[in-house]
Amino acid sequence: MKLDFTPTLLSFVLCAGTLTSAANIRNVRALVPRRQSSLLINNTAYPELPSAAQANSSAAAAGLNLTNVQGDILIGMRKKKELFYFFGISDATTFKAKLKKEILPRITTTTQLLDVSTQPTTALLNIAFSHPGLLTLNVSLGNDTLGDPAFAAGQLQSVTGTNNILGDPGTKNWVPQFLEKKIHGVILMASDTVDNINSELKTIKSCFGDSIAEIYTLEGAARPGAEEGHEHFGFMDGISNPTISGLPPPNPGQAVVPAGEILLGEKNDTVQRPDWAKDGSFLVFRQLKQLVPEFNKFLADNPISAPGMTPKQGSELLGARMVGRWKSGAPIFLSPNADDPALGNDSMRNNDFNYTDPGGPVPPTNQTKCPFTAHIRKTRPRADLPSEDTGRHIVRGGIPYGPEVSDDEASYNQTKTERGLAFVAYQSNIARGFEFLQKSWAGNPDFVHKGEGFDPIIGANQGNPRPVTGLDPKNLNATTTLVTDFIVSRGGEYFFSPSLSAIANTLTV
Ligand code: HEM
Ligand SMILES: *[C@@H]1O[C@H](CO)[C@@H](O)[C@H](O)[C@H]1NC(C)=O
Ligand SMILES: *[C@@H]1O[C@H](CO)[C@@H](O)[C@H](O)[C@H]1NC(C)=O
Ligand SMILES: *[C@@H]1O[C@H](CO)[C@@H](O)[C@H](O)[C@H]1NC(C)=O
Ligand SMILES: *[C@@H]1O[C@H](CO)[C@@H](O)[C@H](O)[C@H]1NC(C)=O
Ligand SMILES: *[C@@H]1O[C@H](CO)[C@@H](O)[C@H](O)[C@H]1NC(C)=O
Ligand SMILES: *[C@@H]1O[C@H](CO)[C@@H](O)[C@H](O)[C@H]1NC(C)=O
Ligand SMILES: *[C@@H]1O[C@H](CO)[C@@H](O)[C@H](O)[C@H]1NC(C)=O
Ligand SMILES: *[C@@H]1O[C@H](CO)[C@@H](O)[C@H](O)[C@H]1NC(C)=O
Ligand SMILES: *[C@@H]1O[C@H](CO)[C@@H](O)[C@H](O)[C@H]1NC(C)=O
Ligand SMILES: *[C@@H]1O[C@H](CO)[C@@H](O)[C@H](O)[C@H]1NC(C)=O
């Protein structure tokens, strides 16, 4: 059959309220225009995604239903363009009716996203709700928190509470809308063009009408050309994400975690939850501004000096040691002196290491090749801990936002237009996942070894200077004190991404 519906025509039909029976909704799913090319970035640095059939069958054998899981949760950072649409619910009854009849059929499932032939023009990857949002929908939360006190309290509380868990310098840099606690939910849309997203947004807005109000939006976009997939400091991102057991076998070095570490109610999620929460996940959103010209100036001013190395190479080495990978994605542990793009873009090799040397001690004691403080070593210590089995994994699904650095910004070493990372992390327990990584690892100068200092990328010290060791391979105990936070938190919120069955049977009744 030839599919020549335009998205606009489809949205007209869909939102006119003429298609309401379950059978018709199935037809609409089938009629959504098919793509010729994937809406996801296909880069050999990323582990190849399984086909839907492969994923389905191994998941089914493990008792997992990937068609019940919203599309963004297990996929990772592979989006080309993405819109984050934060809304408040003004009329819960109408909202529920529209969500059930018109939006639910548009939500892209994990299964659908895995094959190009079933991907929609624009993926509605996720609709997720804040705690006030779930209360507005009158959903029963069991013990009121869905088993997650951090979610229930909201992200603001993790900065302004008695314990500033996230280490932000207060909320002075926060986007005001994240301070108001009026956000009830967020919709994530992704495609390969902004036009496609705008067209989907128009459909969604016309469906919900006055039942929701826009509070804030953020547009993400992969960086242009060869920088596609790289975050704004220039480093390939999204290489290392865990997979859940039940999916096809992992890539070498990829962590495999019990499904319940990411999805509620699955194996190894031991927290008491209402039944309907099964197969949902907590979505942590953070708008993390990156001071790119300032970061580059710091590297230019402090090159690591080594025999035969130019200052420019020394600066690149410093940046790589702060992250733990070179800009190509090659791990410095495997290529300590220079970038190796062929290693960086080879997903069979670029994650296959654990900081131990053959015959060397376990846990490793040597940080010559990779500082203990490097961002990827702090956030996933691998063999530095007795076991990977830590329960501390998150699936990162963010995307860069903001323009490229202008010539003017580069020459003055000063950010004039905001850019950064629209950080997204999924896990079944926010305190064990994102918050623990941010506070107890990246922001803990005594982890994994006493006195080693902060993660120089994301370690946060409430705006105070941040001592870091391990950066200079010739003098590993030397302390570098970072006086600039190259990443500035603009705040965010905690959300719950329900399963499709929860949307159909609980959230919309
Ligand atoms: C603007 C902020 C950030 C930047 C620029 C950034 C950059 C990077 C880069 C370049 C990588 C290496 C690529 C990869 O392994 O996928 C990475 C990995 C990672 N990041 Fe970040 N990151 C940021 C924020 C965060 C935050 C807030 C967290 C969690 C609290 C986090 C947790 C991780 C984890 C868990 C890994 C994978 C480590 C591994 O498995 O080896 N990142 N990040
Ligand atoms: C991604 O690229 C690989 C190798 O270049 C290719 O085999 C694969 O079919 C591509 N996948 C998609 C979804 O485009
Ligand atoms: C995956 O499973 C779902 C139901 O669990 C089914 O609707 C879908 O057709 C399956 N997809 C593939 C490619 O097997
Ligand atoms: C998987 O989940 C989808 C969406 O909730 C549902 O329609 C389907 O019946 C489920 N499949 C199985 C095998 O439970
Ligand atoms: C939620 O519950 C309140 C109080 O019971 C009721 O007034 C309101 O109409 C309910 N809203 C919806 C959308 O069910
Ligand atoms: C699963 O949870 C059990 C009980 O908490 C724990 O002993 C086990 O190590 C966990 N397994 C993994 C792979 O995390
Ligand atoms: C990987 O990098 C190497 C070296 O830069 C390059 O020759 C090769 O074409 C790249 N491969 C892919 C698939 O990007
Ligand atoms: C640490 O590793 C470096 C590089 O692999 C090696 O040259 C050095 O001898 C090691 N130091 C110790 C104390 O093992
Ligand atoms: C580290 O990786 C090597 C292979 O690369 C493996 O032989 C070793 O068992 C791993 N060690 C730990 C502690 O995971
Ligand atoms: C920007 O920083 C570089 C490196 O420190 C320096 O050479 C240059 O003079 C700085 N530019 C301005 C306008 O200060
Ligand atoms: C560096 O610090 C460690 C831990 O405090 C210590 O064992 C080691 O001797 C120090 N190395 C040098 C060269 O000072």
3-state secondary structure of 93: helix
Nearest residue (CA) to ligand 9, atom 4: 353
Cα(64)–Cα(57) distance, rounded to whole angstroms?
9
Find out whether 407 and 274 touch, Cβ atoms under 8 Å.
Answer: no
302 lines ligand 10 (CB under 6 A): no
Tell me what pLDDT residue 33 has: 60
Cα(222)–Cα(81) distance, rounded to whole angstroms?
6
Tell me what pLDDT residue 114 has: 96
Q: Quick one: angle between helices 7-15 and 194-208, nearest 10? A: 10
Task: Quote the tokens at residue 214.
Answer: 């826009």
Tell me what pLDDT residue 388 has: 86
Nearest residue (CA) to ligand 5, atom 3: 138
Q: Which residues line ligand 9 (CB under 6 A)?
A: 354, 356, 362, 383
Tell me what pLDDT residue 29 has: 52
Cα of first residue to Cα of last residue in the chain, in angstroms, is 36
Ligand 7: atom nearest CA of 346 is 1
For residue 74, the one-letter residue type is L
- Catalytic annotation, pick one of 148, 168, 237, 485: 237
Active-site annotation holds for 237: yes
What is the pTM assigned to this prediction?
A: 0.94
Tell me what pLDDT residue 462 has: 98
Q: Which ligand is nearest to the CA of 45?
A: 7
Tell me what pLDDT residue 24 has: 44
3-state secondary structure of 260: helix
Q: How far, in Å, from the CA of 473 to the mean position of ligand 9?
A: 23
Within 8 A by CB and 6+ apart from 225, the residues are none
Task: Quote the tokens at residue 129.
Answer: 């709700």
350 lines ligand 7 (CB under 6 A): no
Task: Determine the number of helices (DSSP H) and then strands (DSSP E) in the chain.
Answer: 16, 13
| Helix (H) or strand (E) segment spanning residue 83 | strand 81-89
Q: How far, in Å, from the CA of 45 to the mean position of ligand 2?
A: 12
Nearest residue (CA) to ligand 2, atom 13: 38
Walk along the chain (509 residues) and give the pLDDT tens digit of each residue: 333 333 433 444 455 443 444 444 444 554 556 788 999 999 999 999 999 999 999 999 999 999 999 999 999 999 999 999 999 999 999 999 999 999 999 999 999 999 999 999 999 999 999 999 999 999 999 888 999 999 999 999 999 999 999 999 999 999 999 999 999 999 999 999 999 999 999 999 999 999 999 999 999 999 999 999 999 999 999 999 999 999 999 999 999 999 999 999 999 999 999 999 999 999 999 999 999 999 999 999 999 999 899 999 999 999 999 999 999 999 999 999 999 999 999 999 999 999 999 999 999 999 999 999 999 999 999 999 999 888 999 999 999 999 999 999 999 999 999 999 999 999 999 999 999 999 999 999 999 999 999 999 999 999 999 999 999 999 999 999 999 999 999 999 999 999 999 999 999 99
Nearest residue (CA) to ligand 9, atom 13: 383
Ligand 5: atom nearest CA of 138 is 1
Tell me what pLDDT residue 22 has: 45
Q: Quick one: angle between helices 311-323 and 292-301, nearest 10? A: 120
Q: How far, in Å, from the CA of 467 to the mean position of ligand 10?
A: 24
56 lines ligand 3 (CB under 6 A): yes
Task: Measure the CA angle with vertex 453, ends 451 and 456; round to 5°.
Answer: 170
489 lines ligand 1 (CB under 6 A): no
268 lines ligand 6 (CB under 6 A): yes
Q: How far, in Å, from the CA of 25 to the mean position of ligand 6?
A: 40
Q: Quick one: angle between helices 22-31 and 7-15, nearest 10? A: 170
Nearest residue (CA) to ligand 6, atom 2: 268
Q: Of the residues 25, 64, 68, which should be mutated to test ligand 4's pocket, given the most ligand atoms within 8 Å of the CB?
A: 68
Q: How far is CA 101 from CA 16, 92, 181, 279, in A?
A: 11, 14, 28, 21
Task: Quote the tokens at residue 210.
Answer: 């006055």
67 lines ligand 3 (CB under 6 A): yes
Q: How far is CA 368 from CA 261, 337, 444, in A?
A: 32, 11, 21
Q: How far, in Å, from the CA of 443 to the mean position of ligand 10?
A: 30
Nearest residue (CA) to ligand 4, atom 4: 68
Residues in the chain: 509
